[in-house]
Every structure is written in structure tokens, then in C-alpha cells.
């Protein structure tokens, strides 16, 4: 696991020096298997993670004594510390799954404001997290395709919320027509009564289409940035049309 992911996942920047030291020792143990920690190693772990160099004597005292005690001194004659077994087991239980996590998506509102648009529906949250993660990591084709998908989902939810989704059902009556047809209907739908943002709907659709279907096309940051403001306006309108109060 990259150290930056560990720092973000454990909110290390907002922890005190003792907790940071314990967590970084645990990270080192999980990455290397080493169970003994010299004070110079602990100091280096803190410095390499972007924190200030500690007063090693004072830090050692707090790590092995008092209410924050988490280590014992090694018995092999070397000036090193080892986790108290119950502390190590407790940490492994609490955060060891970070090394096995196949669910968490690290994101930070790089493109879509998560505080504003998340916590409405779990599946929408996951799409937004993936969009932000892809954008932040320069995966712009992935970003475009996921943005297209979120746009389509919100249109369908809007039709469902207003009780008119039969207007966009396919011939089987079980699924929905293609996004191009949904957009065509939405632009003129008197029940939806969309604002002028509907004039941008084809741009959201086409950016995703190019990334998904055009053999030689690859999206760049500018392609996403060109539509992100209008996309944000669309999100707010369709969230409200879908009954997802912001």
C-alpha cells in the first residue's frame, strides 16, 4: 500500500505524535514484516511521512510508559521496541483490512463536490467517488464514461420520480431506451420542465460516447474541464427532479 493512501485512510494528519508513531510502525510492520523498531527508525518514519522530527527520548518514554503505552523494550539486548501483543492484535483487527480492502475508493471531491452530492443513494455515491478518483489520477476516458453513466442514471431517476418513466421504456417494457433517445425526450418533456441546461445534454453524452466507442480517441483533462461547470449545474437540477433533495 502506498504511504499516502495509508495517511489518508487513517487521517494521520489529524493525529497526535504518539498515535502517528504507533500507526506508522504498524504500517512498517505490515509492509516489511519487521517487528522491532529503533527510535531512529520511528523518527525516520515520521519525517518521511511529512511530519516534524520528534524528541526521541521524550517520545520513547511516552511509547513505553503511561496511558499511551503501546510498546515494550526488546529483550534481545538491542535498543529497540516491540508492540505489546494485544495492541498489535487490536490494530490489526481495526485497520489491517486496509491491505485487503477491495471496496473503498479514495477520493476528495476533485471534480464533483462529494459533500453536496453524496449520501443520497449508495450507488450514486460510488459512481461519484469513482469519477473523482479517475479524474484525480488522470484517467480521463474512465472519467468521461462514468460521468455519462451518472448523467443517464439521474435522468432515469427523474422520470421515475415524476411517474413518467413509461415514456422512455423500450419495446419490451422492462428496460429503457438508449441515452440518445432519453435525451431527445427530456429536452421537450413538459412534465420534466428542464431549464436551459438541457441544451448541454448532448455534450455530456458525446464526451462519454467518444471515450467508450471511438477507437482512436482518448480524452484529456481539457475535455472534462470544458463541461464540468455545466455538468455541475445539471447534477443539481436532476438531483431535485429525481427527489434527491440537496
State pLDDT tens for residues 173-230.
889 999 999 999 999 999 999 999 999 999 999 999 999 999 999 999 999 999 999 9
pLDDT tens digits for range 15-63: 999 999 999 999 999 999 999 999 999 999 999 999 999 999 999 999 9
Residue 94 has pLDDT above 80, yes or no: yes
Q: What is the pLDDT of residue 108?
A: 86
Instruction: Catalogue all structural domains in the chain, each as residue range(s) with its CATH number.
Output: 3-99 (1.10.10.10), 114-241 (1.20.120)
The secondary structure of residue 71, as a DSSP letter, is E
Radius of gyration of the chain (CA): 25
What mean pLDDT, rounded, does the chain reach?
94
- Distances 221 to 139, 165, 197 between C-alpha atoms, Å: 9, 34, 22
Cα 118 from Cα 71, distance rounded (Å): 40
Residue 246's pLDDT band (cuts 50, 70, 90)? low
**Residue 229: per-residue pLDDT:** 97
- 40 or 1: which leads in pLDDT: 40
Identify the H or E element spanning 72.
strand 71-73
Amino acid at each position: 500500500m502506498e504511504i499516502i493512501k495509508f495517511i489518508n485512510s487513517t487521517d494521520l494528519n489529524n493525529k497526535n505524535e504518539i498515535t502517528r508513531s504507533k500507526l506508522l510502525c504498524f504500517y512498517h510492520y505490515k509492509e516489511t514484516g519487521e517487528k522491532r523498531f529503533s527510535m531512529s527508525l520511528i523518527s525516520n518514519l515520521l519525517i518521511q511521512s511529512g511530519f516534524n522530527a520528534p524528541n526521541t527520548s521524550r517520545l520513547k518514554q511516552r511509547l513505553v510508559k503511561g496511558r499511551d503505552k503501546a510498546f515494550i523494550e526488546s529483550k534481545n539486548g538491542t535498543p529497540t521496541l516491540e508492540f505489546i501483543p494485544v495492541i498489535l492484535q487490536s490494530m490489526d483487527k481495526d485497520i489491517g483490512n486496509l491491505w485487503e480492502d477491495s471496496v473503498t475508493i479514495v477520493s476528495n471531491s476533485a471534480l464533483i463536490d462529494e459533500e453536496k452530492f453524496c449520501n443520497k443513494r449508495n450507488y450514486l455515491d460510488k459512481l461519484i467517488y469513482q469519477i473523482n478518483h479517475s479524474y484525480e489520477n488522470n484517467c480521463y476516458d474512465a472519467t468521461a464514461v462514468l460521468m455519462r453513466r451518472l448523467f443517464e442514471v439521474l435522468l432515469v431517476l427523474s422520470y421515475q420520480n415524476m411517474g413518467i418513466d413509461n415514456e422512455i421504456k423500450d419495446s419490451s417494457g422492462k428496460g429503457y431506451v438508449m441515452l440518445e433517445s432519453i435525451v431527445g425526450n427530456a429536452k421537450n418533456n413538459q412534465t420534466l420542465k428542464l431549464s436551459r441546461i438541457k441544451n448541454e445534454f448532448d455534450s455530456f453524452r458525446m464526451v462519454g460516447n467518444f471515450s467508450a466507442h471511438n477507437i482512436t480517441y482518448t480524452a484529456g483533462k481539457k475535455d472534462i474541464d470544458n463541461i464540468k461547470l455545466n455538468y455541475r449545474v445539471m447534477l443539481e437540477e436532476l438531483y431535485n427532479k429525481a427527489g434527491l433533495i440537496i
